[in-house]
Structure 1
Amino acid sequence: MTAFADAARLRDRLKTWALEAAYPLWWETGADHVKGGFFEKIDLDGQPVDGPRRGRVLPRQIFSYALAGELGWTGPWREAVAHGLAFYLKAYRRPDGLFRALVGPNGESLDDTADPYDQAFAMFALAAVAKALPDRKAEAKAIAVHVLEKLRAERKHPLGGFHQTNPPTTPLQSNPHMHLFEAMLAWNEVDDDPAWRALADEIGGLALTRFIHAASGQIREFFDLDWNPAPGVEGRICEPGHQFEWGWLLLRWGKLAGRDDAIAAALKMIEAGETHGVDLARGVAINALLDDYAIHDDSARLWPQTERIKASVLAAQITGEDRWWDMAAAGAEGLMTYLRTPVPGLWRDKYLPDETFVEEPAPASSFYHITCAIAEFDRAVSAHPAEG
């Protein structure tokens, strides 16, 4: 079987799992149809787990259901998007228009912090709403523009990007910028306001000039207040999942902006993640390396597996090289290891070095990673000449 045919077969299996098991379960059981929003977890017996709800999770669920129609789910995906959005705007939006970090099950504020990471997901979900529910686009854009303007007014870093806090504190982080990058690219696809592309260009440039460790080609995680690597081990941490995720975003931006340097850097970091960040015994990408490729954390969460798929299928499209389809197939096989649960449509999250999983409820936060990977996989396979 050719590399592409193998990948296409695995795409079919993942898509079937999403449409027949995951989407129905996370709407019927994972949505809180009484109080609003979505539960953070479903236990492995298929029962929702109530508790505090993070501000970064609900927008991921909104995005996942906004994508459901494109993937072919015939369930009430528009209703799911509207259901999530109603609770999000009611419970998480602060009086200043930014979004808080944590609420209780009844929507009461438990943590009013407005982290840039959470604002990125707010804008990302609003772009998904604008695409999925065109009649809500003007409303979604107005809210997203306000969030972006507040970040610029209160957190702007003179060298590019944003401070974590106001007043500034260390460490600065690349990860929130990755999701801001993702949000700006998402808005750029649905709206012609030049502000989205301008910030995408700024973050892309920051990644190429400040975030990448030159010798290894990997993206670093933590920095001082001048965008230099944070002192000690912290400044040396490079996560394979983020090499894939940043690589995927930089490939998209490089193609959009005509930046061959971004495409070259992206392919290098994806290659680094695959060569040094995958445990061949388990067939999965691990959590963290250091900048010399030494292993820092060899547990393996679910989300890096999804990013491995996204990076490889886009690399396959851009380069035309079959080896990336091999990587995509390996990534899909790795991901499916996490999806083998007693109740179809759930997943495990933490795969340990001894080849066992932590037994715990399935976290809703992973659904965005999974659905985004399946959608990207599906687009790439569908666009391949062999599928014509």
Structure 2
Amino acid sequence: MTATLLDDPDHRAFLAEDARRALNLFDASPRAGGGFHGLDPAGQPLPADLQELHSTTRLVHSYALAQMAGRPDRAGIIDQGMDFLWNGHRDRDHGGYLWSVTGDGPVNGIKLAYGHVFVLLAASSAKMAVHPDADRLLDDITLVLDRHFWDAQAGLFRDEFTCDWQAFSTYRGMNANMHGVEALLAAHEATGDGEYLTRAGGILRFFIAGQAAGNDWRIPEHYDADWRPDHAYSGNPMFRPAGTTPGHSFEMARLLLQWWDLAGRPTGDAVAQATALVRRGLSDAWSDDLGGLVYTLNRDGGVDNAARYWWPVTEAIGALAALLKVQPTSEFDGWYRKLWQFAGQHMVDARHGGWHHELGPDNQPVMTQFQGKPDIYHALQADLLPLTPGLSGQAKDLAQLQPLGV
């Protein structure tokens, strides 16, 4: 069997230490009175009072993983996040969860599938970390997703509603469904309920076997009400950019392998499909001149947005780590090493902790799309998932390994 960087003791020690540094930085997140601060590059709170649903949920999920991995939640982030989801984001009048709030109340009451599936992820991870409020949140978000967002005929998540659940667009998207798969797999691990796993598998089949396979292994991001690709769509440049997004192909590849493992490794094309997604994403997105991965492509695979963010690199690392566990080849090991070498040189902030979120043309950190370091979730998973021996049962593996110590 080919020896890979995944097995190298020095690399594994680096992963654990990078995770600890990030957690130490984000320990400064809790805000007096509830919710969380955004952080500047040095980990100091930013003055903005706005709290978005995906930020709250990702912090809960990340610190739940870290707690299972042996790093106590010294800052009380899981407790504060679970309380703020229930008492800050939850819409007591209409049900569901508000996208953005401040200490004075709702700012944007739109109900997005993207945010709601992260509530499911947070609740599931909190349950695996044995949080006392996890079942309450898990039961509520499962009901909300099933009642409002789940398109039973298509077997996919619809995207958006007004605060009182009126449909105001026909937009359908891959991003919310991709993170829906992530959340459904976590919910299955947390509860053992097979319906979560079944739904995740159906979503993966639609976007990978049904879309990527017919589009040269690039996944269309945007769809109309009948789930037909809308190649002309151009929405929010961060959450709904035009074209295709290679970083999402890496995420989908990893999630496909996680589902395949949880489903008992059924015969079929899961490994081949994951391999095709990763190879296409690396071929399309790697910047030969500067390193790193470009953000978006046009329909034919040319670069549309050449910005280089941290999260596609973290997701490529996660996908390659998963593939290396199935087929430890020199090809995948070479790419895994290459990505970590680039990240270690340009994106990992060894001084303050966490990762720089964007690089400029001189490979120095810039802040055009993001202010400071608003997110621990992507980079923490890039550290933790390669440390686990399996493709699924991530929480169980972390709890058994305790790679972050006490």
TMscore range, shorter length: 0.7 to 0.9
Q: Which of 96, 99, 110 lines up with 2:97 in the alignment?
A: 99
Match of 2:57 in 1: 59
Looking at structure 2, the residues matched to 277 and 231 of structure 1 have their Cα atoms a distance apart, in angstroms, of 19
How far residue 6 of structure 1 moved from its aligned partner, in angstroms, is 8.4
Looking at structure 1, the residues matched to 47 and 219 of structure 2 have their Cα atoms a distance apart, in angstroms, of 36
1:76-225 correspondence runs (5 A)? 76=74, 79-95=76-92, 96-104=94-102, 106=103, 108-133=105-130, 135-152=132-149, 156=151, 158-165=153-160, 166-167=166-167, 169-212=169-212, 214-225=214-225
How far residue 168 of structure 1 moved from its aligned partner, in angstroms, is 6.0
Deviates more, 1:81-90 or 1:356-365: 356-365
Aligned residue type for 1:22 = A
Looking at structure 2, the residues matched to 265 and 80 of structure 1 have their Cα atoms a distance apart, in angstroms, of 37
Alpha carbons 2:204, 2:256 under 8 Å: kept: yes
Alpha carbons 2:53, 2:100 under 8 Å: kept: yes
Match of 2:400 in 1: none
Match of 1:265 in 2: 273
The structure-2 alpha-carbon separation of the partners of 1:74 and 1:135, relative to structure 1 and needing over 3 Å to count, comes to closer
How far residue 112 of structure 1 moved from its aligned partner, in angstroms, is 0.8
- Comparing both structures, which one devotes a greater share of its residues to helix? 1
Looking at structure 1, the residues matched to 25 and 319 of structure 2 have their Cα atoms a distance apart, in angstroms, of 28
Alpha carbons 1:7, 1:326 under 8 Å: kept: no
SS class of match (1:281): coil
1:1-388 correspondence runs (5 A)? 3-4=4-5, 9-19=10-20, 21-27=21-27, 29-32=28-31, 34-39=32-37, 41-51=38-48, 52-76=50-74, 79-95=76-92, 96-104=94-102, 106=103, 108-133=105-130, 135-152=132-149, 156=151, 158-165=153-160, 166-167=166-167, 169-212=169-212, 214-232=214-232, 237-257=243-263, 258=266, 260-336=268-344, 337-340=346-349, 343-359=351-367, 361-365=371-375, 367-380=376-389
Looking at structure 2, the residues matched to 293 and 11 of structure 1 have their Cα atoms a distance apart, in angstroms, of 35
SS class of match (2:36): coil
How far residue 119 of structure 1 moved from its aligned partner, in angstroms, is 0.4
SS class of match (1:320): coil
Q: Deviations over 1:55-102 (max 9, x none)?
A: 11110000111011233324527x321121111211000123311100
Looking at structure 1, the residues matched to 288 and 10 of structure 2 have their Cα atoms a distance apart, in angstroms, of 21
Aligned residue type for 2:253 = G
Looking at structure 2, the residues matched to 15 and 304 of structure 1 have their Cα atoms a distance apart, in angstroms, of 20
How far residue 7 of structure 1 moved from its aligned partner, in angstroms, is 6.2
Looking at structure 2, the residues matched to 308 and 68 of structure 1 have their Cα atoms a distance apart, in angstroms, of 21
The structure-2 alpha-carbon separation of the partners of 1:330 and 1:112, relative to structure 1 and needing over 3 Å to count, comes to same
How far residue 125 of structure 1 moved from its aligned partner, in angstroms, is 0.4
Looking at structure 2, the residues matched to 43 and 183 of structure 1 have their Cα atoms a distance apart, in angstroms, of 28
Aligned residue type for 1:229 = P
The structure-2 alpha-carbon separation of the partners of 1:174 and 1:259, relative to structure 1 and needing over 3 Å to count, comes to farther
SS class of match (2:107): strand
Match of 1:386 in 2: none
Q: Deviations over 1:24-77 (max 9, x none)?
A: 2211x2221x112221x2123432013211111110000111011233324527
SS class of match (1:49): coil
The structure-2 alpha-carbon separation of the partners of 1:136 and 1:90, relative to structure 1 and needing over 3 Å to count, comes to closer
Looking at structure 2, the residues matched to 5 and 156 of structure 1 have their Cα atoms a distance apart, in angstroms, of 39
Which one has more relative contact order, counting CA pairs under 8 Å at least 6 apart?
2
Task: Return structure 1 stretches of 4+ with deviation > 6 angstroms.
Answer: none
How far residue 217 of structure 1 moved from its aligned partner, in angstroms, is 0.9
SS class of match (1:218): coil
How far residue 275 of structure 1 moved from its aligned partner, in angstroms, is 1.6
Aligned residue type for 2:229 = P
The structure-2 alpha-carbon separation of the partners of 1:190 and 1:381, relative to structure 1 and needing over 3 Å to count, comes to closer
Please list every run of 5 or more consecutive structure 2 residues that lacks an aligned counterpart in the other structure: 161-165, 235-240, 392-396, 398-406
> For this pair of structures, how many residues does the alignment match?
373
Looking at structure 2, the residues matched to 66 and 5 of structure 1 have their Cα atoms a distance apart, in angstroms, of 23
Aligned residue type for 1:158 = Q
Alpha carbons 1:298, 1:353 under 8 Å: kept: no
Looking at structure 2, the residues matched to 190 and 381 of structure 1 have their Cα atoms a distance apart, in angstroms, of 16
Alpha carbons 2:231, 2:243 under 8 Å: kept: no
The structure-2 alpha-carbon separation of the partners of 1:270 and 1:168, relative to structure 1 and needing over 3 Å to count, comes to farther
Looking at structure 2, the residues matched to 44 and 214 of structure 1 have their Cα atoms a distance apart, in angstroms, of 41
Q: Deviations over 1:199-237 (max 9, x none)?
A: 112212222344325241111111122222214375982
How far residue 264 of structure 1 moved from its aligned partner, in angstroms, is 1.8
Alpha carbons 1:301, 1:351 under 8 Å: kept: yes
Please list every run of 5 or more consecutive structure 1 residues that lacks an aligned counterpart in the other structure: 384-388
Aligned residue type for 2:86 = L
TM-score, normalization by structure 1 = 0.88
